Chain A
């Protein structure tokens, strides 16, 4: 079955360390997204990519970086500049370039905590 795979499910970061969250999709979607979820704050957009080798900052991009070298993959790096990284991170994808009426599909998330 097609879907989005996020790994790892749980991740711990040490002080001053960069960590990378993986997101892979086999839905043949052009667009991919990273969201951060904190309790009571809904979903906030970190970065998104509408096509390979191109991406845009979302609402809270500071302290994060991404790459989009392949259509299927959109990894997120949480850098040491992100001072409050503890959150639930969700990856999503859709075919909005061709069909804005289509919903986004989500992975099952990565929960990041500080050691």
Chain B
């Protein structure tokens, strides 16, 4: 079965420090992977995606993600965290042999303190 796991419910980081939000996946075939961010009482905003090619993907607001096929991981990273990065982050995989539905992880709450 296709699945996505975000092993940390919450990640706490000091402003200016690097941040990592973890994601692992299980999918048949080549994965289409996505990261989204959600601010309180808002919808999800697309950050970045991995389709094929370079394992380091750059996205919006200075975020990037590293795809590792052998570890089936797609961790979200940012070199220097901002307080405004505090939000809920979701990893998702496209299950293209299940009608193309997106399967989401449980979400990770990122808290960046000044």
Contact residues of A with B, CB < 8 Å?
A: 4, 6, 31, 33, 40-43, 45, 48, 50, 56, 58, 88, 90, 92, 96-97, 100-101, 103-109, 111
Contact = CB atoms under 8 A, between A and B. Distances in A.
A40 B41 CA distance: 15
Contacts of B36: 103, 106
A103 B99 contact: no
A111 B41 contact: yes
Contacts of A6: 43
Interface string B9-39: 1000000000000000000000010101000
A43 B101 contact: no
B32 A90 contact: no
A103 B100 contact: no
23 contacts: A33-B102, A40-B106, A40-B107, A42-B90, A42-B107, A43-B90, A48-B101, A50-B99, A88-B41, A90-B43, A96-B94, A96-B100, A100-B94, A100-B96, A101-B32, A101-B51, A103-B36, A103-B49, A106-B36, A107-B43, A108-B41, A109-B42, A109-B43
Nearest to B102: A104
B83 interface: no
Contacts of B96: 100
B56 interface: no
Contact of B100 (A41, A43, A100, A109): A100
Contacts of B45: 106
Given A40-B106, A96-B94, A90 B99 contact: no
Contacts of B49: 101, 103
B46 A103 contact: yes
Contacts of B51: 101
A50 B101 CA distance: 10
Contact of B105 (A33, A42, A104, A105): A42
A108 B44 CA distance: 8
B100 A97 contact: yes
A103 B41 contact: no
Contacts of A88: 41
